[in-house]
């Protein structure tokens, strides 16, 4: 499965870095790095195109007939497009262009509280026969039976709502954590390493370790309260990794 990425801002760059998994991408452990991700995956050969677009704040509030001048003239053939933090009017223009490139699905992660034209985009994508989802945050991307292309992407790339497997010793301490599915930014790998040595019955220590390690990773999700989820998007991401740990310990 091949993809293209159209983005503006830091979050798109972080997702791309995690997909490629180059050696200096994750530096969160600093001198304590154990190269936990080294050679585990790398999708550079699956990325057919990277397009950095102007940030919405640098563009007119409304873009009408001139939207095409800000979008790539040609988009390579691919199966899926990740579209992150681009101007609403450019987002509305994209589905027919993506369809012409054979793209069958579009993921539009929401890492900030900025409102996007979701109903209109869904309508256009439905008309063009393109699957579309709007995970908020990106690590809330979950497989859905009615979106087989996106479901295949999640399975093939191991990206989406975090899923881990935990090994414990006889004293109930975590000795190893396998990452089965990572948050798209790669934070799940860092949290997994920080959990080693924690006594699972000590819930205060466990939750503190999850929270501290998640906040120590350079996640770019917004700390602005989002009206739809009733909390900040960064906090929502933190709850998702805590839920993944709790599920693994059942």
Per-residue model confidence as pLDDT tens digits over 195-229: 999 999 999 999 999 999 998 888 778 888 888 89
Q: Mean per-residue pLDDT for 114-125?
A: 93
| Percent of the chain predicted with pLDDT > 70 | 99
N- to C-terminal Cα separation, the chain: 33
Res 66 pLDDT > 70: no
Structural domains for the chain: 3-157 (3.40.50), 163-249 (no CATH)
pLDDT at 31: 74
Asked if residue 56 lies in contact with residue 8, where contact means CB atoms within 8 angstroms, the answer is yes
Q: What is the pLDDT of residue 113?
A: 82
What are the pLDDT digits (tens) for 127-148?
999 999 999 999 999 999 999 9
Q: How far apart are CA 79 and CA 62, in angstroms?
A: 30
Per-residue confidence at 114, pLDDT binned at 50, 70, 90?
confident
CB 5 within 8 A of CB 86: no
Bridge partners of 7?
Answer: 52, 84
Which among 12, 17, 21 has a CA at the least distance from the CA of 39? 21
Average model confidence (pLDDT) for the chain? 92
Residue 181 · residue 196 · CB < 8 Å: no
Asked whether 167 and 176 are in contact (CB, 8 A), the reply is: yes
Band the pLDDT of 20: cuts 50, 70, 90. very high
Q: Residue 62 above 90 pLDDT?
A: no
- Judged by DSSP in three states, 19 sits in helix
Cβ-Cβ contacts under 8 Å for 89 (sequence gap 6 or more): 62, 63, 64, 67
């Amino acid at each position: 499965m091949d993809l293209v990425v159209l983005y503006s801002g830091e979050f798109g760059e972080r997702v791309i870095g995690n997909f490629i998994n180059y050696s200096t991408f994750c530096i969160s452990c600093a001198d304590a790095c154990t190269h936990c991700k080294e050679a585990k995956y790398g999708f550079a050969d699956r990325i057919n195109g990277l397009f950095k677009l102007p940030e919405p704040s640098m563009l007119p509030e409304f873009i009408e007939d001139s939207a095409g001048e800000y979008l790539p003239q040609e988009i390579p053939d691919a199966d899926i497009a990740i579209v992150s933090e681009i101007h609403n009017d450019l987002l509305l223009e994209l589905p027919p262009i993506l369809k012409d490139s054979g793209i069958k699905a579009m993921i539009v992660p929401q890492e900030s509280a900025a409102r996007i034209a979701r109903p209109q985009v869904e309508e256009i994508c439905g008309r063009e026969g393109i699957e579309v989802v709007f995970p908020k945050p990106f690590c809330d991307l979950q497989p859905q039976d009615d979106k087989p292309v996106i479901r295949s992407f999640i399975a093939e790339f191991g990206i989406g709502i975090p899923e881990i497997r935990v090994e414990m010793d006889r004293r109930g301490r975590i000795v190893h954590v396998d990452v089965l599915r990572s948050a798209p930014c790669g934070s799940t790998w860092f949290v997994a390493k920080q959990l080693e040595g924690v006594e699972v019955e000590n819930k205060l220590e466990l939750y503190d370790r999850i929270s501290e390690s998640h906040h120590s990773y350079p996640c770019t999700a917004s700390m602005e309260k989002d009206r739809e989820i009733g909390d900040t998007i960064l906090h929502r991401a933190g709850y998702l990794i805590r839920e993944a740990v709790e599920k693994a310990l059942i």
